[in-house]
Amino acid sequence: MEKNYLTKDKIIGKQVADTQAMIVGTVKDLSFDIVEKQIALTITTKDGEDINVESEAVNAIGDIILLSNTISELTKPTPAPQPPMSTPVPKPSSLPSPETPTETTSQDKPKPAKGLCASCGFQNEPTNKFCIKCGSKI
């Protein structure tokens, strides 16, 4: 049986149809399984999904690539789509402000000078109990 070698360029971009003549997508790339010695066609479907179809499933390559089975039977069930990363990051409601209210130290409050007369304002001796000017009690 004559081997039919095709270059990548002749395959990539071709439309792919299944047995029901439904265009399933276009060939995006070729994939190789070195161990199994298999070639798979990476097909971008109309939904924009990339699927791999083994070359054994290719029935004919002409203007379009005909598969030997329906696409749903050729493709394995795709893994479940990853849930969108929409976990809302909780915003810290209110950070405690680093500012601490500056306490006014009442220790350096000026004490009334001893001996100062409340009535006339005369500065008496600190030991005086009565103003020597007006006689008021200090």
- Spatial separation of the C-alpha atoms in residues 41 and 32, rounded to whole Å: 9
36: left (phi over 0), alpha (psi -120 to 50) or beta: alpha
Question: Contacts with Zn ion: how many residues (CB under 5 A)?
Answer: 8
Is the Cβ of residue 13 or residue 135 nearer to Zn ion in the bound state? 135
Per the rule left: phi > 0, alpha: psi between -120 and 50, beta: everything else, 71 is alpha
* Minimum separation from the CB atom of position 127 to Zn ion (A): 15
CA angle 16, 17, 19 (to 5 degrees): 145
Please identify which residue in 33, 50, 120, 130 interacts with Zn ion, judged by CB under 5 A.
120
The residue (of 8 and 133) whose beta carbon lies closer to Zn ion is 133
Give the integer Cα–Cα distance in Å for 81 and 102: 56
Determine which residue in the list 16, 24, 74, 117 makes contact with Zn ion, applying CB under 5 A.
117
Stretch that binds Zn ion, among 44-52, 85-93, 95-103, 128-136 (CB under 5 A): 128-136
User: What is the contact surface with Zn ion in residues (CB under 5 A)?
Assistant: 117, 119-120, 122, 131, 133-134, 136
